[in-house]
Amino acid sequence: MRRPRKIFLFFSVVILAFLFPLSPCLAAKVTDIRFWSAPDHTRIVLDLTESVQYESSSQEDPPQTVLELKGTSLQTQKRNLEPKDPFLTRITLAEVGKEQVRLILHQKRPLRANVFTLKPYQDKLQRLVVDLVDIAQEKKEEEERKRQKEIRPKSKIVVIDPGHGGEDPGAVGSLKTMEKDIVLKVGDKLVHFLNQDKGLQAFLTRQGDYFVPLPVRVKMAREYRADLFVSLHADASFNVQARGSSVYCLSLSGATDQAAKILADKENMSDILGGAFLTPASMSKDPDVNQILLDLMQTNSMKESFRFAELFLDNIKGVHRLKYPAYRQASFVVLKAPDIPSALVEMAFITNKEEERLLNRTDFQEKLAKTLSSTITKFFNP
């Protein structure tokens, strides 16, 4: 009796090992490679079926960054790319040995390479991310932002933040409309309208399809010494009948309702989807800022945020129906500048077919932009 049992156990183990091989034996596969260009950096992303070990190195002559991926093979036809990019001339992806892949980023000049991995999240695979950063350009842009208040000291500065971008598409409608594209179009139009007012200066946190981490958006607004920060979004819901515009402000003590909390959690996930190299830092821990003054600034900026939100709701109802009759509050990372009135505007539901079509219409985008522009003008000239 014991011998047949041992034979049965032996074959059971063999069959299980064949059907479910141990994960260390699985070679990771590169399934895709993508890139996005920003004014001061280029991001390259590799999609992988498994986590990988890698080594990175950089050289200046010729300028290039090289990544060696171990235990990896290629499952993509993208091997030799010549991107239209301010920093890259060519991207080469090749198998250089058994289960070894080499990524070479041929650069126009030496750049700083930030390399990091992102774990699978929602529909995203394991990702290996390379940010090639032009430090001189990054510093130049930062200094330019700080100069704006000196150029026209009497003007009010407004920073418009088109949400999402790059690796993070935001919400996607049934017609495949991406939130990141719509908010950028409305943001461009809004900045154009605002800059026609001699008493205003308006700037975007991003000017193209690339990702900006949430804390960096806040940092940019503070470098501009903004008088108002408005983050643009398109709402989404599992209920395809949900519709309407809404506006949200920061809460320091919890969300006004469960729906506001869910929305804040979704928007705060942007750094995970888009891939943030920098981690958020609590501004209240800044050793150069006195906590009492910080609290006073926060209280005043939130009061002004509420005033803007009420003005917007009053104006937008003449253009589009409201989702809620009053503003909501939650802990949005992008609204946490303690010294800047800030609001997050959900323009319409991209998951509602009718509103998705509206969002794609140029005339509706212009109506939204003009309504926001007139609200901002009224905010500074009550």
| Highest-pLDDT range among 199-213, 263-277, 280-294 | 199-213
- What is the spatial distance between Cα 362 and Cα 311, in angstroms, rounded to a whole number? 24
Confidence (pLDDT) at 314: 97
Is the pLDDT score of 251 beyond 90? no
What's the pTM value of the predicted model, to 2 decimals? Answer: 0.85
Alpha carbons 294 and 198: distance in angstroms, whole number:
31
Domain assignment present for residue 349? The answer is: yes
Residue 255's CATH number: 3.40.630.40
Residues 115 and 143 in one domain: no
Determine the pLDDT at residue 298: 76
- Whether residue 195 sits in one domain with residue 246: yes
Residue 13 lies in a domain: no
pLDDT band at 300 (very low <50, low <70, confident <90, very high): confident
Give the pLDDT score at 283: 39
Q: Which domain holds residue 184?
A: 137-380
Judged by phi (left if over 0) then psi (alpha if -120 to 50, else beta), residue 146 lies in alpha
Final residue of a structural domain among 106, 133, 160: 133
Q: What's the confidence (pLDDT) of residue 24?
A: 47
* Domains of the chain: total: 2
Q: How far is CA 56 from the centre of its chain?
A: 25
pLDDT over 70 percentage in the chain: 84
CATH number at residue 41: 2.60.40.3500
| Residues 117 and 160 grouped into a single domain | no
Residue range 287-314: mean pLDDT, rounded: 78
Same domain, 224 and 95: no
How large is the angle between the packed helices 214-223 and 135-151, nearest 10 degrees? 40
* pLDDT value of position 267: 76
Q: What is the mean pLDDT of the chain?
A: 88
